[in-house]
Structure 1
Amino acid sequence: MLKEKLKDYNIILASGSPRRQQFFKDLDIDFTIILKSVDEVYPKELKETEITDYLADLKSKAFTNLSDKDILITSDTIVWLNNKALGKPKDDKEAFNMLSALSGKTHKVITSISIKTNRFQKMINDVTKVSFKQLSDEEIQYYIKNYKPFDKAGAYGIQEWIGFIGIDKIEGSYFNVVGLPVHKLYKTLMNLS
């Protein structure tokens, strides 16, 4: 299906995320990983999908020489809580503060994907609501110590221990929370002309 549709293209995934890379493997897409360093800073007035759209686009701008056969895919995910974006925690203390803030509340996980060729760019995004139970300090500390969630927005992975014991409800795509709204990516790639 999708593999056949994309057989004449070079798919470039600009992501170091093992979860996003696994999604591409599971979609049975042939792809190359190329990483470029980007300073992920966005204007302070941006909110929600504006932030992730901006950062996904910023990451795509690091690639200046796309060939006619290249399809570049960049993305960004944030956790949105109390009108503020939570990125990746720098250390144990920041991870603890993020998880404490998420405890007992509902937040949004927002992901944007830029699909870019040398002829066009499409931006898609997805929002999932995630509700945490009240987490104890011991549960938070156990998770940080054993899972070291420093590469994850909001300091957690839904597919890990904290997700099993801590998440009461999700509204929307589970896979978006893991790191990529795969259903929307698939549909967009299938409809490329």
Structure 2
Amino acid sequence: MILASASPRRRDLLAQIGIVPDAVLATDTDETPRRDELPRPYAQRIARTKAASALTLRRDAGGAPGFVLAADTVVALGRRILPKADDTTTARHCLELLSGRRHTVITAVVLHAPDGGRSERLVESVVAFNRMTVDQIDALLAGGDWSGKAGGYAIQGHAAAHIRFLSGSHSNVVGLPLFETAQLLRGRGWAV
């Protein structure tokens, strides 16, 4: 099993269902949305690109292809794709946009099997934040668990105190929908 992701959260989530990847290949994928690209096609494109890149890297290194699992998680506010927060300014902007509103967390999961087959799932969860004060947003930023997260928050972190509603998969919002991932693997012969 090759995990095409550098995300420690995805490794931890896989461990919850008893899967420890044999290797982790973080691909150098340009995650810039295309002009007018919508959240669902964007997530699918990035996950497919990550999976294909990891498969190519594995083959070029002379390794057996095995299973290659890739995912991409997007926080969408309507048709808008919120960025991964790499700085406090971006995180603050995302949290201000999400305050008091519902948004959708979309994860595309792509699995390449040793037989050359490919399976995919697109999973959506709806999340709503309570209306947050400036002090509450400041406290979330001071907590630091927003760094590198889509939409500028981690539901498994300090932001959980402000999530008033969740419909769908919690593990999807963390970064990998476990039920659907297990289904993909079982469908390709992996004993989960």
Say yes or no: TM over 0.5: yes
Equivalent position of 1:46 in the other structure: 37
Q: What's the RMSD between the two structures over aligned residues?
A: 1.6
- Structure 2 CA distance, aligned partners of 1:13 and 1:110? 19
- Structure 2 CA distance, aligned partners of 1:187 and 1:120? 15
Aligned positions of 1:164-183 closer than 5 A: 165-183=161-179
- Structure 1 CA distance, aligned partners of 2:65 and 2:49? 21
Q: Deviations over 1:77-129 (max 9, x none)?
A: 11000320012113111111100000000000000011013612212110000
Residue 145 (structure 2) pairs with residue 145 (structure 1): no
Residue 103 (structure 2) pairs with residue 95 (structure 1): no
Residue 102 (structure 2) pairs with residue 106 (structure 1): yes
Residue 5 (structure 2) pairs with residue 15 (structure 1): yes
- Structure 2 CA distance, aligned partners of 1:71 and 1:129? 30
Aligned positions of 1:25-40 closer than 5 A: 25-31=15-21, 32-40=23-31
- Structure 1 CA distance, aligned partners of 2:173 and 2:66? 27
Q: Deviations over 1:48-83 (max 9, x none)?
A: 211100000111222314465511111101100032
Residue aligned with 1:155, SS: coil
Query: 1:158 Cα deviation (Å)?
Result: 0.7
Structure 1 residues 187 and 117, CA, compared in 2 at 3 Å: closer, same or farther? Answer: closer
Residue 119 (structure 2) pairs with residue 122 (structure 1): yes
- Structure 1 CA distance, aligned partners of 2:113 and 2:135? 48
Query: 1:23 Cα deviation (Å)?
Result: 1.1
Q: Deviations over 1:4-58 (max 9, x none)?
A: xxxxxxx000111111100111211231212221221342232121110000011
Kindly, what percent of the aligned residue pairs are identical?
A: 27
The worse-fitting range, judged by mean Cα deviation, of 60-69 and 99-108 is 60-69
Stretches of structure 2 lacking an aligned partner (at least 5 in a row) = none
Whether the 8 Å contact between 1:42 and 1:54 is mirrored in structure 2 is: no
TM-score, scaled to structure 2? 0.88
Whether the 8 Å contact between 1:68 and 1:117 is mirrored in structure 2 is: no
Equivalent position of 1:8 in the other structure: none
Residue aligned with 1:43, SS: coil
Structure 1 segments, 4+ long, off by >6 Å, are none
Whether the 8 Å contact between 1:75 and 1:114 is mirrored in structure 2 is: yes
Aligned positions of 1:61-72 closer than 5 A: 61-63=52-54, 64=56, 65-66=58-59, 70-72=66-68
TM-score, scaled to structure 1? 0.88
